[in-house]
Homo-oligomer: A and B are copies of this chain.
């Protein structure tokens, strides 16, 4: 397809597409002559991913380029590429290891992953941004006087594990390779608002079921 059709099908203006091409966020089209290039479905897919990261995820262009660099690095196995791309997404600030609440939270999170038998989390621990952000939020709870520990967190963690199983089942409906990794990144950006909205709606539903409009 030509640039105009790529623009029409993606809903992204030709000026923006040209900007993404210049910035290397989109691979160049196949040059037909000095002024015309041809684009394919892969360009369309990539353009949608860039748009999600920029517009929904509000990632700066340099960060988008870094994430895509991992997606396209064919020297690595696909699980490593996926991990690297997800880890490159913006993360919470580092836990302050001098803080007593943070140290207590570390112990609780370690007890949690031990109890769950999450071997990957036990092995990577604070190398994983997700692990670090769990420590930071558990510490915030503790600082506010709510001592949430492994026992309270475990049933939530089990439901989130079932959610992750759904995520991967959905991802596996796609062919392996870059498309799958792109879907996983989109999921990390878009699934979270969906889950948040579903969770809030379910809270309203359950509140009304239990207490009516008392």
Contacts and interface: CB of A to CB of B under 8 A. Distances in A.
Interface of A: 11, 44-45, 48-49, 51-52, 56, 77-80, 82-83, 86, 92, 113, 118-121, 124, 128-131, 133-134, 136-138, 140-141, 143-146, 148, 152-153, 155-157, 159-168, 170, 186, 188, 190, 192-214
Contacts of A206: 161, 164-165, 167-168
A207 B118 contact: no
A204 B120 contact: yes
Nearest to A194: B137
B168 A77 contact: no
B79 A156 contact: no
B202 A163 contact: yes
Contact of A211 (B48, B78, B211): B78
Contacts of A193: 92, 133, 136-137, 140
Contacts of A152: 170
A186 B148 CA distance: 13
B210 A168 contact: yes
A202 B155 CA distance: 13
A76 to B, nearest CB: 10
Given A79-B211, A130-B200, A161 B194 contact: no
Nearest to A51: B144
A135 to B, nearest CB: 8
